[in-house]
Structure 1
Amino acid sequence: MQFVHPQILWALLALSIPIIIHLFHFRRFKKVYFTNVKFLKEIKEEKSTRRQLRNLLVLLSRLLAFSFLVFAFAQPFLSKNDTAKTGKNFVSIFIDNSNSMMALSEDVPLVDKAKKKAEEIVSAYGVADQFQILSHELKGSQQRWINQENTIQAIDDISLNPEVNLLSNVYNKQKQSKPKEGNHVIYYISDFQKSITNFNLDNDTLSEINLLPLQSIKESNVSIDSAWFESVVPSINQNNKLIVRIKNHSEEPKDDIRLSINHNNQNRPEGTISIPAMGTKIDTINLLISQPGWQNIRIKIDDYPIQFDDTYFISFNIKEKTSVLAINKNGTNKYLSAVFNGLKSFDLKNVQVSSIKYDQLKDNDLIILTELNEITSGLASAIKSYVENGGNVLVFPTANANIASYNNFFTSLNSNTINKWTKTKSNVFRINTSEFVFDNVYS
């Protein structure tokens, strides 16, 4: 049997106190004169025997209760191998320093408790033993074996880090650095989140492995789940609606969560929000983009104590004008020209399919293929390369299109295929103006 906190066993010396009190406690009796003491002696002898037995039982109960309490605080445990080990110990300790260890337990972060427990483990070994302190970073310097004094310093240097490794990776590193001689002892001090606990230690009989779980009190946590623009392409000199989804991970509602946004180093509060228990809240932020170029946005909420998920970053590039190339069957497409007419943020260029310069396709933000009879292999290859480099393509097939050439093109882009054009009569009762294609058309 071993103890996590063997130094607490010194408290067993306090067992001598009740024993001393019991041995040196003399009770004084008062003399009472009586004419016939025969019956009094019998009563006195009987009560004295009972009292002595009762006192011994009380003393024994107190000693056992105090002993069990001391052993409980010392945290005894049985090692995997009960046989006594001799020789030098090589102790490898993994301290979980992921963001989940930011949670509090008795007003103390779990990572601080893990470091404290690691120091206690190191202190329980001898000065001749060697130690290895690992964290999620798995640095090369952490895989060296160091003495007891340097180990305490290595533990102090550990801090929270967003980098996370699976415990199987940690275990593999520990096996790789395992010494050829001596006793190999492994400790894992962690909250053992499901996302990182993926290893099986049942087959390892050459190392003594100890799992020391830490558990936090139930924390209320609110995080920014996601954010996106209502419009596919944010526009310059216009109010763009930025949608923010915020999630409450606790079983209690959260009120007065402050939301703020930083746009190009300009802070702006957005008020407070309330979120039901285990629910989400969607809020809308109006964002005016007045200058072209890269836009840096930081959305932030105020939530304590878990704060690593309180900030959300967005970066995107706004061009002064969006370049659009329309590849037409014959000359200019009047319908597209009418659509883009008056849209100052778009620069539309029309080109005939027979006059395409493939090397200039990359200079456009959007390419529109309008009513082409077929998509040749050369055009398909050029468009595919353009898309793979981040380009955007919009296709309007013609009624008598070569379906095979179109579908070959769509297949190369991992897109849906089309069927033959058919004409059928249908009655239209009304126009569904709520569809997104009619946004701002009838306003």
Structure 2
Amino acid sequence: MLLYKLWRSFIKETLLLKRDIGGIVIIFVMPLLLIVTITLIQDSTFKNMEGSKIPIIFIDNDKSEISESIKKQLENSKTFELLTDFNEKSAEKAVFGGDYQMAIVIPNNLTKDINTNIESKVQAIVSSFGLETDSSAIKQNISKAKDIRLYFDPATNISFKNNVMNAVNKMVFEIENKKIYKAFQDQLGTTEDLKNNSLIAFKEITPKKGNRDVLPNSVQHNVPAWALFAIFFIVVPLSINLVKEKSQGTSVRARISPTPYFIHILGKTFTYLIICVIQFLLMVAVGIYLFPYMDLPQFDVTGKMLPLIIVTVFAGLAAIGFGVLLGTVADTQEQSAPFGATSVVVLAAIGGIWVPVFLMPEFMQAIAKFSPMNWGLNAYYDIILRNSGIGGIAKEIIFLFLFYIAMVAISLLYERKQNAV
């Protein structure tokens, strides 16, 4: 009997949705347009960065060995296009005015002063071995460190600044090391070539599929992220329907009918859960079949479809629970619609859809741990990028289900309190 009532409730919700074809189209089409647009932008930006160079101003006041070496390494990096027709004053004005991202100014006598410093320090070390040297001459030859001046556009991203400064520091460090080796070679009078080879190297270990490295791409990040955003966006139509039922008296008839009110909620849950799964399948279909025709990587779900759908079901439950609560508490569509849309965007921001959680401030990272979107996103990433099974995502699934139970329980208690005589 309860199953029959649940079925009738499901039919009722389906008929209500059929009356709003425009809303249903938006539910399905909007996420597809979003995922295609965002993925194209991110992927094309990545490709453009690979094929284009950033123009920066390079001013060489040294015009000697070290400045030439720095210039050559910058040109060989395939990242920068060096502009040399500036003096320091005009470069400062151009960069601070936003015309260029940055300027690098090599100081006068950089090569000469570094050579003098290295020679003096090497002589001091050699003298500590018992060899005679003029200590007063050593002290006189040591000069202050030279500054390579870097000008950045005030609007430049901090990570870009740090990357450039680290790259310049590495170049200067390598040049100094080579000169120190050469100075020791000259002081000791050895004819053996002391090559300055690095004793430590970095090797990235990536997951493998057979003999092939599995490298993350924009599609693997965007499909689950925006599928999750679409799933939670059903909060808006679900809450609006609940508010309509209250304003039209449908909820009153549901309460006085012999069917328990929780059956009414379960009917909505099953209806919108089917919508969530369809949304996800459409997003996956776009990633598998459409993206390759748009010169984007294909979304690979080989052997992962079942756990992905399981995550989708529980993420859908969490979204439905939130929508039920919002529709129960709100009195008008003017309250539920804007609040629902805004809250989904906020949850997406907190959950790591817009910005990765590890880039957030510590306080926001702590808040992200309580976001249902973050649980869902981590579960998707565990399956797609970390090759986890059901056991690896059990915690996130439990959290999502408990969130649904909590939201529905609060809704039922609120509804009962509001209608208590």
TM-score grouping bracket, smaller chain normalisation: under 0.3
Q: Which has the larger radius of gyration?
A: 1
TM-score, normalised with respect to structure 2: 0.18
Higher strand share: 1
Higher helix share: 2
TM-score, normalised with respect to structure 1: 0.17
